[in-house]
């Protein structure tokens, strides 16, 4: 699984997770040391038994300081 935060210029701000995790619920905290604004969180997961099966989702986030 990989979770990355991008700014609106498409630059990676931080990679929160980049490792294989067991199935189930997980919690990740972003200790944002960046300026407030609009960011995009991108999640990518690949099935361990079939690398052809992938899930990718991106969500817009607003960081308020």
Three-class secondary structure assignment of 1-61: CEEEEEECCCCEEEEEEECCCCCCCCCCCCCCCCCCEEEEEEEEEECCCCCCCEEEEEEEE
Our count of domains for the chain comes to: 1
Give pLDDT tens digits along the chain (65 positions).
999 999 999 999 999 999 998 888 999 999 888 889 999 999 999 988 888 999 999 999 999 98
Q: For residue 26, give its domain range.
A: 2-63
pLDDT of res. 34: 84
| pTM attached to this predicted model | 0.85
pLDDT of res. 51: 83
Residue 64 three-state SS: coil
């Amino acid at each position: 699984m990989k979770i990355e935060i991008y700014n609106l210029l498409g630059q990676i701000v931080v990679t929160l997770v980049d490792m294989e995790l067991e199935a189930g619920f997980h919690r990740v905290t972003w200790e944002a040391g960046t300026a407030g604004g609009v960011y995009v969180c991108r999640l990518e997961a690949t099935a361990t038994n079939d690398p052809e099966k992938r899930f990718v989702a991106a969500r817009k986030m607003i960081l308020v300081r």
